[in-house]
Amino acid sequence: MGVNQHRRLAIILTTAIAVLPAATAAFAQDPSPGQSETRPWMNTSLSPDDRADLVLKELTLDEKIALMHGNGQPGSGRQMPTTLLGNGGAGYVFGIPRLGIPSIQMSDAAYGVRSSAENGRYSTALPSDLALAATWDTQAACDYGALIGRELRAQGYNMSLAGGVNLAREPRNGRTFEYQGEDPILAGTIVGNRIKCERAQHVIADIKHFALNDQESGREEVNVVIGKRAMRESDLLAFQIGIDIGKPGAVMCSYNAVNGDFACENTYLLTTVLKKAWNFKGFVLSDWGATHSTVKASAAGLDHEEALDDFFGEKLKAAVQSGAVPMAELDEHVHRILRSEFASGIVDFPALKSVVDVEDGFETSRQLSEQSIVLLKNNNAILPLDSVVVRRIAIIGLHADTGMISGGGSAQVDPPGHPSAEWQAQVWFPTSPLKAVSARAPSANVQFDSGANPASAAALAKQVDVAIVFAYQWMSEDMDLPSLSLPDGQDALIEQVAAANPRTIVVLETGSVVTMPWINSVSAVVEAWYAGSKGADAVARILFGDANPSAKLPISFPRSEADLPHPKLLTPPPVSDPASGTPAAKPTFNVSYDEGLRVGYKWYDSEHKPVLFPFGYGLSYTTYSYSGLKVNAGKDATTVTFTVKNTGARAGAEISEVYAALPPSAEEPPKRLVGWTKLHLNPGESRQASVTVDNRYLSIFDESIDAWKLVPGTYTFMVGGSSEDLPLVEKVTVE
């Protein structure tokens, strides 16, 4: 290190010590090797709770306060001088080096590690979280989380800000691509397995945004009005399952209010449900700028404020000293933070910067993308394409020669070779559909047209054997889609191309659902979602049959926005960013989620509204048949067995879905997903499947007793390949 670098570091450290008293102890008393024998909390045979309690006894008040807030985010506009001590991520928390407690270095990591360019490193972009949910595959979710966990550590981070599981009540929500679809059991199971395997890499894993943060427009001011039963059986159930499976170290509370109280100072959410009913052991941190008070937030169960110390810094210290916040309450907050540090392994296995395994990331991303691509339409078996027969191919679509679109906001992964993306910039990853298709069909004449001039694209389509249109829909945090239509005139483009050549295939790069006014004019539709670093290779392998599509929709595609529970999206007037000043003291407008627990397919079923493509739907290049349903109702679980046969000529994987209709007295939607399994079958092969259904998934939440209840009566079990294709039916009586 040169003289100037030494001088700069000294200035930073001196400033940090002056600004934050806790930093004085942290930096001045760094222990030497060998002192660990005098630290009983370093005994790994002790429980995380015991280790946290031992550290807690050693902390000063300033050190406790320092653990309860962040120190700013680079480039955010509101920073402390100490912000520069972080790793360039979304936030960081000073550790207690004199006690061997490391700093917490946080990074956004929804579908890959964000802000990698800021510390000169590379991140793999995986397919979007909604794409992951389309795999319906717990091992895929584990692979997803494990790769992100490894890359976090390689970049010097030890906490992930990811694990989004808000249900798709509003498919125009700008963060739909970060979440896991519309069903709580599918969403919770997928995110839970992702978190479990991310946490296994010794990082603090997070689940968010707790709760009911189901739209981005006006998220800082909206008050969600919803009944307890409805939320417990929908959004909160997804969180409960995710926490049960994944055991995250942190829960991030959301910007919005729920039934009158902001989520980050909502006693019902944070204490009654999360910490008491679910026995969550980790800590609750606020979304960035989502803290609104000191005493109320602390009493409600908020443990940590991000990104700065507006309420949990000097104001919290003063509240403790005055008795407004009891010391026992403060100690519980700090205990939870320390417990998560020990439980995650970041104390015993410190993150050390290393080189990301780029090739492994590429391969994992491609495999996950293949498993997530949903084949929605395939008239006359136009797919898979035969590279020997198809000699002339048109690739049409903006950037289809160079890249594929990705989701924006805090989830945005930096593309290789580029600086950090601007907030809400459209980022196209350098994975070229034109190059991937050309490589897969080397003997074909593959031509490109951007589609900017639909007449030009249609003229090219007339000259080829098949036209492949790559259509996109860009989404980002902090904004909702104005509509579910494809933007920038792409619907008209597809209509003109299909009119010129009926052998038109549409590949959708979307973060949510889209309407398809051209659906009857095209031969095939492939939903590729936001496909990640190797998305184009995955799409090409699906198009040419190197991989057989097996994914199924985690979200219903409506025919029109008029069929949504809220046909018009409430968009309030723009407000100032809470990070730029003082957050609002109370929400300013209400949104009634009067559809209640009828989210997604449950809404369309209840309202008898036909859909474009139903939840759980997805085609394959082979076919399957179902037989032999048997249902055995037990005390704690119900076992559903059936036989699936591959009746086609290709090997494939079938996701078999199990639904249940509850007794009429339960007053539930017509059916709910209660389980599924994924079977890999060779041509002609049949296999018996067994799905164990937790009786909680057959229960309702009874507000009068504040508990789950199994309603006596007749339960109808249905099994098949989608929510609208259920050939097997059997009824059982539950006493």
Residues with catalytic function: 287
DSSP state of 578: G
Which residues, in sequence order, are bridge partners of residue 652? 681
Q: What are phi and psi of 53, to 5 degrees?
A: -65, -40
Radius of gyration of the chain measured on its C-alpha atoms: 26
Is the Cβ–Cβ distance between 207 and 242 less than 8 Å?
yes
Scanning the structure block, which residue is given the tokens 């800000």?
161
Count CB neighbours of 502 within 10 A.
14
Return d(Cα 101, Cα 48) in angstroms, integer: 13
Rounded distance between C-alpha atoms, residue 166 and residue 174, angstroms:
12
- Please give the Cα distance from 52 to 496 (Å, whole number): 65
HEC-encoded secondary structure of 598-644: CCCHHHHHHHCCCEEECCCCCECCCCEEEEEEEEEECCCEEEEEEEE
Distances (CA, A) of 120 to 4, 19, 355, 404: 21, 28, 11, 23
DSSP 8-state assignment for residue 105 = E
Structure tokens at 190: 């997928």
* φ, ψ (nearest 5 deg) of residue 242: -60, -40
How far apart are the C-alpha atoms of 205 and 250, rounded to whole Å? 6
Q: Are 383 and 505 in contact (CB under 8 A)?
A: yes
Q: For helices 490-500 and 454-462, give the axis angle rounded to 10 degrees.
A: 30
The region that residue 381 occupies, defined by phi over 0 for left and psi between -120 and 50 for alpha, beta otherwise, is left
Kindly write down the DSSP assignment for every residue of 27-74, as one continuous string: HHTPPPTTGGGG-GGG-TTS-HHHHHHHHHTT--HHHHHHTTB--B-T
Number of residues assigned to the chain: 735
Which sign does the torsion angle of CA 558, 560, 562, 566 carry?
A: positive
